[in-house]
Structure 1
Amino acid sequence: MTANAIGPLKGDEPGRSERKRRAILDAATEIFLRHGYLGASMDDVAAQAEVSKQTVYKQFESKEALFVEIVSGMTGSAGDKVQLEIAKLGEQDDPEAELLAYAERQLIVVLTPRLMQLRRLVIGEANRFPALGRALYDGGPGRAVAGLAQAFARWSERGLLETQDPQAAASHFNWLVMGEPVNNAMLLGDDAIPEAAALRRHAVDAVRVFMAAYGKRR
Structure 2
Amino acid sequence: MGKIEQNKEIKRRAILAAAQEIFLSEGYVLSSMDKIAAQARMTKQTVYRYFPTKIDLFQATLRHMGESLDDSFLTHLKKTNTRDALTGFARDFIGFHLSDNHIATFRLLVAESVKAPEIVSIFHAVGPDDTHEKLAAFFSERLDVKDTETTIKLWLGMLLSLRSGVLMGREKPGQCQIDEHARKATDFLLAAIT
Determine if the TM-score, normalized by the shorter chain, exceeds 0.5: yes
What residue is the counterpart of 2:175 in the other structure? 196
CA-to-partner distance for each residue in 1:44-90, whole Å, 9 max, x for gaps?
21122122211111011122221222234324654xx33x432552x
Q: Which runs of 5+ in 2 are unaligned?
A: none
- Counting only pairs closer than 5 Å after superposition, residues 1-218 of structure 1 correspond to structure 2 as 11-75=2-66, 77-78=68-69, 81-82=70-71, 84-86=72-74, 88-89=76-77, 91-137=78-124, 143-155=130-142, 161-178=143-160, 180-186=161-167, 188-189=168-169, 191-215=170-194
Matched residue of 1:37: which SS?
A: coil
Indicate conservation of the 8 Å contact 1:37/1:121, yes or no: yes
Secondary structure of the corresponding residue to residue 29 of structure 2: helix
Distance 1:142 1:51, change over 3 A: closer
Cα RMSD for the two superposed structures: 2.4
Q: Percent identity?
A: 29
Per the alignment, residue 158 of structure 1 pairs with none
Where structure 1 has 5 or more consecutive residues not aligned to the other structure, the ranges are 1-9, 156-160
Instruction: Look up the SS of the partner of 1:70 in the other structure.
Output: helix
Q: Which moved more, 1:140-149 or 1:16-25?
A: 140-149
Aligned-pair CA distance for 1:120: 1.2
How many residues align structurally? 194
Q: Quote the Cα distance in structure 1 between the aligned partners of 2:157 and 2:67.
A: 20
Change (3 A) 1:39 1:143: same
Query: For the structure 1 residues 88 and 203, does the alpha-carbon distance in structure 2 shift closer, same or farther, using more than 3 Å as the test?
Result: closer
